[in-house]
């Protein structure tokens, strides 16, 4: 770096050049062991910079700043009035040193960011673990977030991988449930069933796990198991209208219309304004053949 070269009195660093606008320098200037020769020509090439590069050395200041000039602070822009006021060579050299230090720092920061970004993409959790020394709980939170994001983006295989690690680190009803959802979304129904059952074993009152387990069985047209799942849920919490509503829908799908009507009536007792209850009850009566009763509930649903 230029500051190190200045301290060591070495000529190995990049030459630094700043030609004030409107001036026509013709002298050879040597500043702290750095030689800069400015040639005044009448051709379109304007200015040539002579630099001596060492292996691994940086580019000249003019090369580094040519593409990012607009991003530099205003203090670095020299106009004709400033140049003509007679800025000393020492001030120019000091400004160039500060500019080069900022550019070197910026370049190093960009390179570091790109390097870490690649590592983060390839092995996110390992990267954070190596840098910060994360504990099990921290790793569990990271896998939880990665799994949720992957699932919501439709990358179910990656979600399953993350949730499996989450379960290994922190086996809870919630982590098992999330793993079951990812399996269900991916079409791995048997694995989903096992995960949802695992969630229920850890927390019998986890109603969402009961609901999802019943949904999987209903999708497989195994209505008997779906009914058993929801019946167990009503035994755990007999005051939840949603559970009875789902139970009534399964009964209706399997053709047990009387049981469906019974479950739907229970919903009305617990929550008369439950969404869709009157239409569902009307469908159950319609399927049973009681058209007048069906019309009665259909009117209420309007």
CATH superfamily of 206-302: Tetratricopeptide repeat domain (1.25.40.10)
15 pLDDT above the threshold of 70: no
Q: Please give the C-alpha separations between residue 243 and each of 48, 87, 181, 239, 276, in angstroms, as whole numbers.
A: 81, 83, 19, 9, 14
Please give the pLDDT value at position 120.
55
Is the CA virtual torsion 267, 269, 271, 276 positive or negative?
positive
Please give the pLDDT value at position 176.
97
Q: Which of 253, 180, 192 is nearest to 222 (CA)?
A: 253
Q: ∠ CA 178-183-189 to the nearest 5 degrees? A: 125
233 pLDDT above the threshold of 70: yes
In tens, the pLDDT along 124-170 reads 656 555 555 567 888 888 899 999 999 999 999 999 999 999 999 99
In tens, the pLDDT along 57-76 reads 444 444 443 443 334 343 43
Q: How far apart are CA 18 and CA 98, in angstroms?
A: 13
Higher pLDDT residue, 122 or 244?
244
Higher pLDDT residue, 217 or 22?
217
Which range has the top average pLDDT, 84-88, 112-116, 193-197?
193-197
pTM over cut 0.85: no
Please give the pLDDT value at position 267.
96
Please give the pLDDT value at position 227.
97
Please give the pLDDT value at position 79.
42
Q: What percent of the chain has pLDDT over 70?
A: 62
The segment(s) of the chain belonging to CATH 1.25.40.10 are 133-203, 206-302
Higher pLDDT residue, 272 or 44?
272
Q: What percent of the chain has pLDDT over 90?
A: 52
Q: What is the dihedral of CA 19, 21, 24, 29, to 10 degrees?
A: -20
Which range has the top average pLDDT, 15-19, 74-78, 101-105, 143-147?
143-147
Residues β-bridged to residue 36: 29
3-state secondary structure of 36: strand
Higher pLDDT residue, 102 or 199?
199
The mean-pLDDT minimum among 95-104, 175-184, 241-250, 273-282 falls in: 95-104
Residue range 133-203 in CATH 2.40.50.140: no
Please give the pLDDT value at position 118.
53
């Amino acid at each position: 770096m230029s500051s190190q070269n200045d301290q060591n009195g070495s000529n190995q660093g990049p030459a630094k050049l700043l030609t004030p606008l409107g001036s026509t320098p013709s002298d050879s200037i040597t500043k702290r062991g750095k030689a800069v020769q400015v040639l005044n020509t009448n051709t379109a090439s304007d200015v040539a910079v002579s630099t001596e590069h060492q292996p691994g050395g940086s580019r000249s200041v003019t090369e580094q700043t040519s593409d990012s000039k607009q991003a530099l602070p205003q203090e670095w822009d020299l106009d004709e009035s400033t140049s003509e006021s007679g800025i000393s060579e020492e001030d120019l050299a000091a400004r160039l040193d500060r500019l080069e230090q900022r550019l070197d720092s910026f370049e190093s920061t960009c390179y570091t960011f790109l390097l870490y970004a690649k590592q983060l993409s390839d092995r996110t959790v390992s990267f954070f673990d190596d840098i910060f020394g994360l504990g099990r709980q921290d790793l569990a939170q990271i896998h939880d977030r990665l799994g949720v994001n992957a699932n919501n983006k439709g990358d179910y295989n990656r979600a399953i991988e993350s949730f499996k690690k989450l379960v290994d680190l922190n086996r809870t009803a919630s982590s098992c449930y999330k793993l079951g959802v990812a399996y269900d979304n991916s079409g791995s129904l048997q694995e989903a069933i096992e995960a949802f059952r695992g969630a229920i074993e850890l927390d019998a009152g986890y109603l969402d796990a009961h609901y999802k387990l019943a949904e999987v069985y209903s999708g497989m047209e195994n209505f008997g198991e779906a009914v058993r799942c929801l019946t167990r849920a009503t035994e755990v919490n007999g005051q939840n209208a949603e559970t009875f509503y789902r139970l009534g829908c399964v009964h209706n799908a399997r053709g047990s219309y009387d049981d469906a009507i019974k479950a739907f009536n229970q919903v009305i007792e617990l929550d008369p304004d439950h969404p869709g209850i009157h239409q569902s009850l009307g469908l159950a009566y319609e399927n049973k053949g009681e058209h007048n009763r069906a019309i009665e509930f259909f009117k209420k649903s309007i």
